[in-house]
């Protein structure tokens, strides 16, 4: 049955419940916290589908749940939302030896690390794709209808999780994803440490490279603010656009005038993404 859940907090919201839980992750070898929003429709005889939200650098489960404004429409649609943390944490989990914010704690990058000392704990890909959904589906009144979305580093994670796992998700979307991490400073720093210096092994964690051989053609919805300070140096949505065009992969990439990288941007367009996922999660 796995490790027990310990409730951290509970708040009623739009007729449903937002709750935070702590559990021991066998995949990551540490304690983890995640948040779940259960809409009012969820019950033992009425399991609801789930949108998994992956957050970005320095974030936790709390950023999306508190700032995105997603619960009102999720409650109306009857969709649960699960927000994991962004990396393993704890006294035994190594962070960045230089103390920087864009690697280590809060910056797991949703990969499975292969290099020491990271390989023991930094397996966020396995955690969000396999361990956490299994825990959610046996612990809450939800179905195995899953979708995935995320922001920045989490947008990268959402795209990679969907592209690498045909049939596992009904839909995918992203806000300002790190679209080509093998060719940007954030990605190069993380991948060289987590995965080692051989860049050939990085390709399986880069959405723009995965598109060429994607076995499933889930339509990609991506929103990007054109005033995002990380747009040209880190995010590189044009690489994703070009890769999708070359592969014939359906992509809706919306450049939103005047918007930055913040949760003000996410809150402005989250309803569009929820409806995008609802069309797939609630169909037939």
Q: Which residues form the catalytic set? A: 152, 228, 261
List CB contacts of 257: < 8 A, sequence separation 6 or more: 226, 227
What is d(CA 151, CA 223) in angstroms, rounded to the nearest whole number? 10
Assigned token pair, 30: 């540490």
Closest CA to 161 of 12, 271, 45, 51: 51
**DSSP letter (8 states) at residue 4:** P
Residue 254's DSSP bridge partners are 223
SS3 at position 257: coil
Give me the residue label for tokens 């650098």. 57
Q: Which residues partner with 253 through β-bridges?
A: 222
Strand partners, 13: 16
């Amino acid at each position: 049955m796995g490790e027990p859940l310990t409730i951290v907090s509970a708040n009623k919201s739009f007729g449903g419940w937002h709750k935070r839980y702590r559990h021991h992750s066998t995949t990551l070898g540490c304690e983890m916290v995640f948040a779940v929003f259960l809409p009012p429709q969820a019950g033992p005889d009425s399991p609801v589908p789930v949108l998994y939200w992956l957050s970005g650098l320095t974030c936790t489960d709390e950023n999306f749940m508190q700032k995105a404004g997603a619960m009102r429409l999720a409650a109306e649609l009857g969709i649960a939302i699960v927000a994991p943390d962004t990396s393993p944490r704890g006294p035994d989990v190594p962070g960045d030896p230089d103390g920087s914010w864009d690697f280590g704690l809060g910056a797991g990058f949703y990969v499975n690390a292969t290099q020491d000392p990271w390989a023991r704990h930094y397996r966020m890909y396995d955690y969000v794709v396999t361990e956490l959904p299994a825990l959610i589906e046996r612990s809450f009144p939800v179905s195995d209808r899953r979708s995935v979305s995320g922001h920045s580093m989490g947008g990268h994670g959402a795209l990679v999780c969907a592209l690498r796992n045909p049939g596992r998700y009904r839909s995918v979307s992203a806000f300002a994803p790190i679209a080509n991490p093998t060719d940007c400073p954030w990605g190069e720093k993380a991948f060289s440490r987590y995965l080692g210096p051989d860049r050939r092994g990085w390709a399986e964690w880069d959405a723009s490279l995965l598109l060429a051989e994607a076995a499933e053609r889930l339509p990609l919805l991506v929103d990007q603010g054109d005033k995002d300070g990380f747009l040209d140096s880190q995010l590189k949505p044009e690489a994703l656009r070009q890769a999708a065009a070359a592969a014939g992969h359906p992509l809706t990439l919306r450049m939103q005038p005047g918007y930055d990288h913040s949760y003000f941007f996410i809150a402005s367009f989250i309803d569009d993404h929820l409806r995008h996922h609802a069309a797939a999660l609630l169909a037939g």
